[in-house]
Structure 1
Amino acid sequence: MTTQRDRWAELTGGQGGEEYARRFARLAASGQDVHGEAFFCAALLGPGARILDAGCGTGRVAIRLAELGYHCAGVDVDLSMLAVARREAPASRWLHGDLARLDTLGLDPDFDLVVAAGNVIPLLAPGTEPTVVRQLAAVLRPGGLLVTGMGLDAAHLPLPEATVTLTDFDDWCERAGLALRERYATWDGAPYEQGGGYAVSVHARAAG
């Protein structure tokens, strides 16, 4: 594990799992669609694909994708979040680990898609972002996809200011062997406009 705590841990003290789960349960009960990330990923690859939910939290995205026929694993550093995921889907593969040290978890580098939703990248420990992107790219098969969603301003983050720019993020991806394929403003595919406060990005690893 890294010695520096990630921004999510600074916000929650590593005890946010149950409240996070309750918040999404309330949203679902009110009629809101809470599975936009899963449906976005499902539109990119057919059932049977191998998907890693990086920063999986309570497992909301991976559990829905598994229900749709995908082979999923989840990784998170927050044990309170993983406890919820393990309770909700005990047969699924949930790994406790730091994304900056993903290579220590014994994952085969053959995932068809890695998804990092829920502001995973902006909430990493400061300075670890390029390493995490490189680690995520390394577990993708040739031609595999990295899908990310992140806030780019305070209105779209649980933070007073942005921690990541798209310019920096695209640079980290390029250095990790990933090329930008698509970018949207929302998980339902609204077009992204320069200066927007949220971005959903699809980067692809070279095919060979």
Structure 2
Amino acid sequence: MSGRTPSQWEELTAADPAHSTWYVERFRALAAQGTDISGEARMVDAMLARGSRVLDAGCGPGRVGGYLHRAGHTVVGVDVDPVLIAAAEQDHPGPTWLVGDLAELDLPGRGIAAEFDVIVCAGNVMTFLAPSTRVAVLQGFARHIAPTGRVVVGFGADRGYEFAQFLADAAQAGLHCDVRLSTWDLRPFTDESDFLVAVFSR
């Protein structure tokens, strides 16, 4: 890993090299069965004008970014796992899919304009980060949104990242929480919620 801190996802896949392929096939099977796997993307799409710029942060095999591309947006997806990026390229052609570490996010350095209308980080990605890199990832999000852009993050409880700590980290990173929900279908967040979807602005 040459000096950088590996994410918990990288540690998981190093211990079980078949995990990434299992993850890809799981979502392919769900889609083939007709399961709705696009709820996150529909919520994000509702926030955007046609032709908006979207960063799918921790894009995995591309289900969110692929949907948003088909809805008419310009999508860049970044994930640390090359197996997942390869699946995104195969299953969802059109977006720009990049292997990269969210803790070192520098898209202008890769020739890509940094100002996104929305950054979406779904699929419990925040809980797979190395804890020491969480604030850096959130700071990277803040650097990559347009002045009126928004960041949308969703993850579940009991995964090692308390919601209160996450919200404090986001504030430290320069992000202001505008909305808290308990689901991607817009149900209000309460003290009993076991899932958080948070919408931030700068």
Q: TM-score when scaled to structure 1? A: 0.88
Asked whether the 8 Å contact 1:15–1:80 carries over to 2, the reply is no
Q: Is the 8 A contact 1:16 1:80 kept in 2?
A: no
> Secondary structure of 1:129's partner?
helix
1:188 is matched by which residue type in structure 2? D
Q: Which residue of 2 aligns with 1:165?
A: 162
Deviation, 1:116, is: 0.5
Q: Is 1:87 aligned with 2:90?
A: yes
Alignment match of 2:58 (pick from 55, 58, 73): 55
Matches within 5 A, 1:131-146: 131-146=136-151
- The residue that corresponds to 1:124 in the other structure is 129
Deviation at 1:91, TM superposition (A): 3.5
Please provide the CA RMSD for this pair. 1.7
Unaligned runs of 5+ in 2: none
CA–CA separation in structure 1 for the residues paired with 2:93 and 2:157: 34
Q: Is the 8 A contact 2:60 2:84 kept in 1?
A: yes
Q: Does residue 193 of structure 1 match 2:190? A: yes
Task: Report the CA distance between 1:125 and its aligned residue.
Answer: 1.3
Give the 3-state SS of the residue equivalent to 1:112 in structure 2: strand
**Separation in 2, partners of 1:3, 1:110:** 26
In the alignment of these two chains, the number of paired residues is: 197
Greater fraction of residues in helix: 2
Moved over 6 A (4+): none
Query: Which secondary structure does the structure 2 equivalent of 1:12 belong to?
Result: helix
1:108 offset after TM fit, Å? 2.1
Is residue 2:199 matched to residue 1:202? yes
Paired-residue identity, %:
40
Question: Residue 184 of structure 1 aligns with which residue?
Answer: 181
Cα displacement (A) at 1:106: 4.2
Note the 1:12-91 alignment, pairs <5 A.
12-13=13-14, 15-91=18-94
The CA deviation at 1:126 is: 2.3
Any conservation in 1 of the 2:56–2:64 contact (CA below 8 Å)? yes
Per-residue CA deviations over 1:106-163 (Å, capped at 9, x if unaligned) read: 442210000010011111012100000001110001121000111111xxxxxxxx32
The CA distance in 2 between the partners of 1:42 and 1:82, in whole Å, is 22
In the alignment, structure 1 segments of 5+ residues that lack a partner are 154-161
